[in-house]
Amino acid sequence: MKAQDVLVERINNLCKEKRMTYYALSYASAVPMTTLMHIVDKSTVNPGVLTIGKLCEGFGITLKEFFNAPEFDDVERFDM
């Protein structure tokens, strides 16, 4: 699975786990809704670590917690 697909899967899983809509995540993280939607629909090929960090703040987790998840277990390289 491509890293981009895994990233989107992780965001979706966290939204379900935290019972958050994309709108709620956008608001909590201060990431514009359009930016979040571009990440989720994969039109943004390489979202920056600062953006992912802001999303983590919205979820109430650290970057380490975000990437230390089963979704990333089979990702060897981050070729987008």
- Average pLDDT (69-74) is 85
Give the C-alpha separation, 25 to 12, whole Å. Answer: 11
Query: What per-residue confidence (pLDDT) applies to 2?
Result: 81
Sorted by sequence, the CB contacts under 8 Å of residue 43 that are 6+ apart come out as none
- Give 3-67's CATH code, choosing from 3.20.20.70, 3.40.109.10, 3.90.1300.10, 1.10.260.40: 1.10.260.40
Residue 10, SS3 per DSSP: helix
* pTM for this predicted structure: 0.89
Q: In the chain, where are the structural domains located? A: 3-67
pLDDT tens digits for range 14-30:
999 999 999 999 999 99
pLDDT band at 76 (very low <50, low <70, confident <90, very high): low
Query: Quick one: DSSP state of residue 73?
Result: T
Give the C-alpha separation, 27 to 70, whole Å. Answer: 26
